[in-house]
Amino acid sequence: MQTEQEPTPPPPSKLLVDLGPLGLFFATNYLKGIFWATGVFMIAVTAALLYSWKKDHKLPPMTVFTAVLVLVFGGLTIALQDETFIKVKVTLINALFAGILLAGLFTKKMFLKTAFGHAFQITEAGWRQLTLRWVVFFALMAGVNEAVWRNTTTDMWVNWKVFGQLGLTFLFLLAQVPLLQKYALEPEPARELD
């Protein structure tokens, strides 16, 4: 009898690639300021992309898109010595993700299903609900980022970006568990081999 394979958690190297650049950004900002932190962030994001390519020989499109924005807005931040660019990048990424997912809803293209269908087996109605929730979440995060960077110090914004945004994203992910359970597809019964 064949058993269904349990999904494995991401290896520590994946976690390091995903969160390492953010950690370096925070630490460098604390030690050297936003312009040094931006440069280190750009280098770390590039290194993470190269490592991912070398390890898996593929790059997720959203990761590449985010890295391109980091490099463009980070480059503008350093070249023009204006921290506004790196701060606005967070708003822009969140707003673009919300817009892309919303466009997918209207065109009946479930981009989340394309990206995460291997990890979650849920109904089409579930994918629509999950997509709508992510649209709202990304739009709210764009708005909160705008409010934070416009009304606080740069150090406070960095704290928000590293801890606040990451923490809220984690809580939002946890809040989606009931939806994933409600719309879960029944696993196909295992066929016995004769």
What is the rounded average pLDDT for all residues in the chain? 86
- Domains: count for the chain: 2
Which residues constitute the domain of residue 180?
Answer: 83-185
33-48 confidence digits (pLDDT tens): 999 999 999 999 899 8
With cut-offs at 50, 70 and 90, classify the pLDDT of residue 190. low
Domain for residue 190, yes or no? no
Whether residue 6 has pLDDT greater than 50? no
Residues 166 and 180 reside in one and the same domain: yes
- My answer on whether 110 and 167 are in the same domain is yes
Poorest-pLDDT segment among 82-91, 114-123, 172-181: 114-123
Q: Which of 65, 82, 99 is the last residue of a domain?
A: 82
| Angstrom distance (rounded) from CA 88 to CA 24 | 19
pTM of whole model > 0.85?
Answer: no
Nearest to 122 by CA among 109, 110, 134: 110
94 and 142 co-located in one domain: yes
* % of the chain with per-residue pLDDT over 70: 87
* Mean pLDDT, rounded, for 52-72: 83
Answer with the one of 82, 117, 137 that is the final residue of a domain. 82
The pLDDT confidence band at residue 73, using thresholds 50, 70 and 90, is: very high
**In this predicted model, what pLDDT tens digit does every residue of 165-179 receive, in sequence order?**
999 999 999 999 999
Long-range contacts from 51-59, C-beta under 8 angstroms, 24+ separation: 51/13, 51/17, 52/17, 55/13
- Residue with structure tokens 């409600």? 182
